Amino acid sequence: MNNEINLKTFLLSLWKEKILIIGVCLFFSISAFVYQNSKINKNEQKITIHLSDPIMLNSQIRYFDDILPDNNNNNNNNNKNDYIAQYRENFKNNFLSRDNFANFINQNKNSNQIKKWFIENNVNIKHYLNENRFSHVKDKKFYIILPSQIDKLPNIIDEYTFFIKDLTIEETRNFLQLKILSELKKNQQALNVAKIINLQNPLLQSDKDNSSRVISEPREIFYLGEKVLNEKIINLNKLLTELSVYNFNYNPILINSSPEQAPVDRVFMSVVAGLLFGFFLSVSVIYLKKI
């Protein structure tokens, strides 16, 4: 019974001190709003880009690599499994390159507003895009912070993402091309040796009476003979031609780039936290006064 009377008395005390409680709550909530709002640069907008996994691209790259001779059985499978990781790393490095972004802005027809803003404000785009405005967050997430005065900025960043995709795929194509050219050179040198020693057919073959001969296979590939080496060179040249015209089908966009709304959420949460802190602080003061 006494507890009920004490609680009722305490609640009446809170009601009498309602002006104090409201004042303290408003003070801390307004302070939190002002502080958090001051941290947001309203002259800039943050564009976040989410990328999809390039699984489809991996199979297309492996198509060309699988056709090449497997001369290193121990490491070949590991190398093929690293294609995705290597592509992601190349994509990230290209995406975060200030030179690439500057080149894109200069080439893109829809980026006149960006170029105009940097010219009018006498700002160098490479200096503007520091590590805080141009960054890689996670494995598939990137963001760019640019002036908010620029209209349709998310669309421009989407175009930049495709620009980097094309650039990275072209680098992948060049990598495969070098592998094929290296294989061509090796086979051409072996063919020259086979011609010098007048080796037409493969050195390792069965006797006419079908009895097997045990011969250790030489490391050099000239033992394949002119006929086989000529066929290999023809096939490698065909592969090289196919690679030059092959259209790697890969769409890097999973979710279109969009302005980030997190700062608004932080302001709201800060105001709520300030309101709660003010309420509990004022109640504690009143309780101590009663004691």
Measured CA to CA, the distance from residue 32 to residue 51 in angstroms comes to 35
52-61, 88-97, 226-235: range with lowest mean pLDDT? 52-61
Least Cα distance to 184 among 219, 218, 231, 227 occurs for 231
Residue 60 lies inside a defined structural domain of this protein: no
User: Percentage of the chain with pLDDT > 70?
Assistant: 78
User: Which phi and psi angles does 2 have, rounded to 5°?
Assistant: -65, -35
Residue 29 is assigned to a structural domain of this protein: yes
151 within some domain: no
Give the domain extent around 290: 18-42+264-291
> What's the Cα-to-Cα distance from 271 to each of 33, 35, 75, 90, 166, rounded to whole Å?
6, 10, 57, 42, 45
Question: For position 185, what pLDDT does the model report?
Answer: 93
- Give the pLDDT confidence of 102-146 residue by residue, as tens digits: 899 888 887 888 888 888 888 888 888 877 788 887 777 888 888
* Residue 274 belongs to a domain: yes
239: its two tokens:
């592969």
**Structural domain contains residue 192:** no
Q: Confirm whether 36 is domain-assigned.
A: yes
Assess if residue 71 is contained within a domain: no
What's the confidence (pLDDT) of residue 85?
79
The whole-angstrom separation of Cα 17 and Cα 101 is 60
Q: Residue 142's beta-bridge partner residues?
A: 49, 136
Number of domains in the chain: 1
Q: What order do you get walking across the sheet with 134-138 strand by strand?
A: 134-138, 141-147, 44-51, 253-259
Residues 190/220, Cβ–Cβ less than 8 Å: yes
- Mean pLDDT (the chain) is 77
**Residue 28, in any domain of the structure:** yes
